[in-house]
Amino acid sequence: MHMLEVKDVHKSYGNLEVLKGISFTMEKGETKVIIGTSGTGKSTLLYCINQLNPPDKGEVWLDGEEITNPETDINKIRQKIGFVFQEFNLFNHLTALRNVSIGLEKVKGMDKEKAQERAMAELTRVGLKEQVQQYPAQLSGGQKQRVGIARALAMDPMIILFDEPTSALDPELIGDVLDVMKALAGSVAMLVVTHEMGFARNVADEIIFMEGGIIVESGPPKQMFQYPKKPRTKEFLGKISTLYGKE
């Protein structure tokens, strides 16, 4: 049994078929990176996994449970699937600390003190010990995103989905966020949509190249970069590496 299994997922918006049958699996602690041109359906795929935007066809299994089944308690499942957004989506009315603890309190039913203790620990882990009482508007982009990661982590997820977590950041702030993600690798499964090739090369167990609603090719970074099977993969990786640098 795989930890996560995505089986033949299809999704259309009106006449536009965005996902045309996506299948892959993930194991505990694995890191996979999804790459692909803009508009290919990478975000759509992530939302199909946590059922915020359920697929039209196909199945998603997590931890032996079919979560595409309308009978499952999706709010329970979502606690196991962390999500980190490109535009952070921190709760604007809550301090960094409360952003991280609110899920523990309101969803997991932890008492306030315990939840805040845990939140404190997660924020320390992402290097924001000093900023716990700040509101989102008082944080830099990189700090916001690290709060976002801490918020996801605090729920003890089996997997965290990252949707271009560094795309909204100024270049000099990207490093801090990637460092946090690097440090997480192995301890929790991560499915990361990103253009950061350095991260993909050094951290990912597998790279998935999507285009036109299907997975064109996937494999370990070394293989994808050095011996891609499809010419299209080679072309795309060449282009993106010059844009985003090799490291």
Partner 1 sequence: MDSLPSLLDGLSITLLLTFISLTIGLVIGVALALGRVYGNKIISSVCIGYIEVIRGTPLLVQLFILYFGLPSVGIILTPLSAALLGLSLNSGAYQAEYLRGSIQSIPSGQMIAARTLGMNRLQSIQNIILPQALRISIPAWSNELIYLLKYTSIAYIIQVRELTAEGKFIAADTFRFIEIFVIIAVIYLALTVLLTAIIDKIEKRLSIPGIGAAESIALRNA
The contact set with ligand ATP (CB under 6 A) reads 13, 18, 36, 38-44
CA distance 153 to 123: 10
CB of 45 to ligand ATP, least distance (A): 7
* Strands annotated E in 14-74: 16-26, 31-35, 57-62, 65-66
Instruction: Pinpoint the alpha helices (H) of 11-164.
Output: 42-49, 74-80, 96-106, 112-125, 141-154
Sole residue written with tokens 């602690």 = 29
- CB-wise, 212 or 220, nearer to Mg ion? 212
Instruction: Pinpoint the alpha helices (H) of 89-189.
Output: 96-106, 112-125, 141-154, 171-184
Dihedral, 123, 128, 134, 135 alpha carbons, nearest 10: -60
Distance of CA 181 to the CA centre of its chain: 10
Interface stretch with partner 1, choices 8-16, 25-33, 85-93, 206-214 (CB under 8 A): 85-93
Query: Taking CB under 8 A as the rule, does residue 92 contact partner 1?
Result: yes
The item of Mg ion, partner 1, ligand ATP, none sharing an interface with residue 83, based on CB under 5 to 8 Å by kind, is: partner 1
Query: Which one of residues 27, 66, 87, 156 is an interface residue with partner 1 (CB under 8 A)?
Result: 87
CB of 143 to partner 1, least distance (A): 13
Site for Mg ion in 22-61 (CB under 5 A): 43
The residues binding Mg ion (CB under 5 A) are: 43
The residues binding partner 1 (CB under 8 A) are: 50, 52, 75-79, 81-83, 85, 87-93, 102-103, 106-107, 135-138, 151, 155
